[in-house]
Amino acid sequence: MLILPTNASVLEYVRSRFGLITSKLAKLDAERERLLDADGDGVPDAWVDLRGQPRSWKQRRGRPLGTRPITDVKAILVHQAAAVIPADDPRLLSVPAHDWVDLEGLVALLNYATDYMAHAHAANRFTVGLECGCRDSGLIDEEKSFWLSKKEQRRGLTMADLIRPPTPALIDSAIHVAEWRIDRVGELGGEISEVWTHRQGHSSRVGDPGERLYRLVVQHLVAKHGFRPVILATVGTGKAVPDRWSGSANGQRYSWRVA
């Protein structure tokens, strides 16, 4: 039976199996990235560092699909995990992303920037994935934009029962780790100059990362670093950033159900 790691396309999976994602240049960059922290410096003491740690077969979703040259990395991509998991929880070894921040503001580095992760569908290739460990609605105070599992629906649970919006500590740490990545990729000869969302990489992720994280993390980083806004940019089946997140009038609805 072929088990496809979630979020990877069939083509990516096949290429990774035959080693086609990893080039010689990519391997050199990966070695240089590992050497940067080899003396124990370079990572804040309070952060959990899971980069390069082996993942068991059960944790295979958290394994890189390959290695990429640092110049492939062009953007930070912000996710809402829709799961509240502390940064020191071993379950994070199974998470296909580069960074995790929890509600307390604790940070876990999950993988190297040169690690090619299946975190954002068509946007995997050029992004570093930042997962924010909160559970929020796609639009602030909009019940219809809050995702519920079938089980939760059957139990009659609502947004009010389950919502865990990002805390100020989570927001601060998300910005901190994103800026650490921007510096780190720069030190290695790459350049991050955009901030994307998972919504822009796949049609199934309309509420990812949601209005609150968009305004407090994405817009903050773009303004502070003078990045080019990529509000209307999409890859694969992704959708443009809705007007209710960006605050601009591009005629972009949130979804077919909610304007």
Q: Does 202 contact Zn ion by CB under 5 A? A: no
Write each residue from 150 to 189 as x if it is in contact with Zn ion (CB under 5 A), else as -, in one continuous string: ----------------------------------------
Q: Does 208 contact Zn ion by CB under 5 A? A: yes
Q: Half-sphere exposure (CA, 13 Å, Cβ side) for 11?
A: 4
Q: Does 198 contact Zn ion by CB under 5 A? A: yes
Cβ 208 to Zn ion shortest distance, Å: 4
Write each residue from 62 to 81 as x if it is in contact with Zn ion (CB under 5 A), else as -, in one continuous string: -----------------x--
Cβ 70 to Zn ion shortest distance, Å: 23
CA distances from 81 to 31, 104, 150, 228 (A): 29, 15, 18, 25
Tokens coding 127: 């992004």
Residues ≥6 apart with Cβ < 8 Å to 247: 215
- Separation of CA 169 from chain center: 18
Cβ 12 to Zn ion shortest distance, Å: 16
Region of 48-56, 88-96, 197-205, 249-257 interacting with Zn ion (CB under 5 A): 197-205
Q: What gap in Å lies between CA 122 and CA 142, rounded to an integer?
A: 28
Q: Which helix (H) or strand (E) holds 27?
A: helix 24-36
Cβ 23 to Zn ion shortest distance, Å: 27
Which residues lie near Zn ion (CB under 5 A)? Answer: 79, 198, 208
